[in-house]
Amino acid sequence: MANPTKNPVNWFEIYVDDIERAKKFYSEVLQITFQDQATPNGKMSFFPYSDDHNAPNACGCLFQMDLVKAGGNSVMVYFECDDCQVEQDRVEAAGGKVMAPKFSIGEYGFSSVCIDSEGNAFGLHSMK
């Protein structure tokens, strides 16, 4: 049985059609660096992560493979931010679109919903 007090999210994949374009987009919006990994099924680029398995955040990657095309999937990933307005303001310049500008989610802070360079929806979340 899973631990009910631990965040169950431990991995995510964002499927992309052009991994270099997607890395550039997320690097510009989130101000991060990716780690590339070749696989037999395609190309992966990992978001920054901690080797500490007790760290509170999830590991994940951008994944370019022939079997899965970008966009239109049912995965929604939210990225933690200090103030999601800052990252939201970088989205269009990086080649994406803002679907739902920063809005309040009450006691849980603020979110915005955007579209990346590959047509995937993603969220930004912050407490301020």
- Are 14 and 116 spatial neighbours (Cβ–Cβ below 8 Å)? yes
- Are 37 and 13 spatial neighbours (Cβ–Cβ below 8 Å)? no
Catalogue all structural domains in the chain, each as residue range(s) with its CATH number: 11-126 (3.10.180.10)
More confident residue, 75 or 63: 63
Residues 46-59, mean pLDDT to the nearest whole number: 80
Q: Is the pLDDT of residue 127 over 70?
A: yes
| Residue that the structure tokens 């095309």 belong to | 69
Q: Could you please report the per-residue DSSP string of 43-65?
A: EEEEPP--S-TT-SSPEEEEEEB
% of the chain exceeding 70 in pLDDT: 91
Distance of CA 56 to CAs 31, 78, 84, Å? 20, 14, 19
Tens digit of pLDDT for each residue in 83-106? 999 999 999 999 999 999 999 999
More confident residue, 12 or 4: 12
